[in-house]
Amino acid sequence: MSDQQAAAARVAAVYNAASDSYTASPLSFWDRYGTETVRRMRLQLGARVLDLCCGAGASALAAARVVGPSGRVLAVDLSPRLLELAARRAADGGLDNIEFRCADATSAGLLSKSFDAVVCVFGVFFAADTTGFVAEMWRHLAPGGALAITTWGPHLFEPGNSLFWQEVARLRPDLDHAFNPWDDLVTPDALGNVIRSAGIKDVVVTAKRGTQRLLTSDDFWQIVLGTGYRGTVDALTQEQVDALRDAVLGELRRRRVRAVTTNVVYTYATRAT
């Protein structure tokens, strides 16, 4: 198995597991930011959209609604269970203009210049070669087509995030930040530079503050189970999981935490030729 195949298998396992919690209400941020990414693109009716790393379809479903029956969305992800969830949500929403495909988005083998829009929300940082991945997204765009890449901003899920990693470091130092790729591209400059290094000149980068409200401090554990933290949790013994959950939630309860930070960075670029 190549390094790329091993990384893809790891990602699929993590997000297959996370699918059981992915649409719980403390994770409403997925749909909120997917919808907002699409709203900012101002897609046209009838547009052909490619959604890479689509997860449970947050941005793909939003795009399908905007482009209408004459438009098409191809949504690609590595996690079969999230794709099943996305397909169910599309069917429940009466959307039949989306195709879901299980494939590696960094090498999906699609035709050049065959889409009017390419969307990637919270997915670009998984690629070993982020610049190459962005160049691959750009290759798919027809002249006049739009690219939207959204990533997390700084301080994601704080204060829960620091408590989580602090406790992981105590229980299992070997796992401390071992699966945490979303922290690599959190500033507008870092993301803008990756996009420009892919040869894309005019990029609009917008950082927005965000928070996710929690009904109770314990809601943070739903976020742990329905996001990439799941990869770390599933590498622990049950005893370690219990110790981690008790320590993190105990401290969040003591501080009466009712919200976590979900800052985001939106980027847009249009292909002239």
Ligand X SMILES: C[S@@+](CC[C@H](N)C(=O)[O-])C[C@H]1O[C@@H](n2cnc3c(N)ncnc32)[C@H](O)[C@@H]1O
Can you give the binding site for ligand X, defined by CB under 6 A? 8, 11, 15, 30, 34, 53-56, 58-59, 76-79, 82, 104-106, 121-123, 126
- In the complex, least distance from residue 145 CB atom to ligand X, rounded to whole angstroms: 19
Of 156 and 200, CB closest to ligand X: 156
- In the complex, least distance from residue 105 CB atom to ligand X, rounded to whole angstroms: 3
> Using CA of residue 201, residue 196, residue 122, residue 150, what is the dihedral sign?
negative
Of 39 and 170, CB closest to ligand X: 39
Of 126 and 268, CB closest to ligand X: 126
Q: By C-alpha distance, which of 152, 160, 256, 250 is closest to 210?
A: 152
Residue 147 dihedral angles phi and psi, to the nearest 5°: -110, 135
The two structure tokens encoding residue 175: 């796992």
- In the complex, least distance from residue 12 CB atom to ligand X, rounded to whole angstroms: 6
- In the complex, least distance from residue 216 CB atom to ligand X, rounded to whole angstroms: 23
- In the complex, least distance from residue 242 CB atom to ligand X, rounded to whole angstroms: 26
Question: How far is residue 33's CA from residue 243's CA, in Å, rounded to a whole number?
Answer: 32
Of 78 and 148, CB closest to ligand X: 78
CA distances from residue 180 to 55, 126, 148, 185, 252 in whole angstroms, order as listed: 17, 9, 22, 11, 21
> Taking CB positions, which residue lies at the least distance from ligand X?
55
Estimate the crossing angle of helix 58-67 against helix 29-41, to 10 degrees.
40
Of 70 and 107, CB closest to ligand X: 107
Of 91 and 128, CB closest to ligand X: 128
Paired with 190 in beta bridges are none
Question: How far is residue 182's CA from residue 184's CA, in Å, rounded to a whole number?
Answer: 6
- In the complex, least distance from residue 170 CB atom to ligand X, rounded to whole angstroms: 26
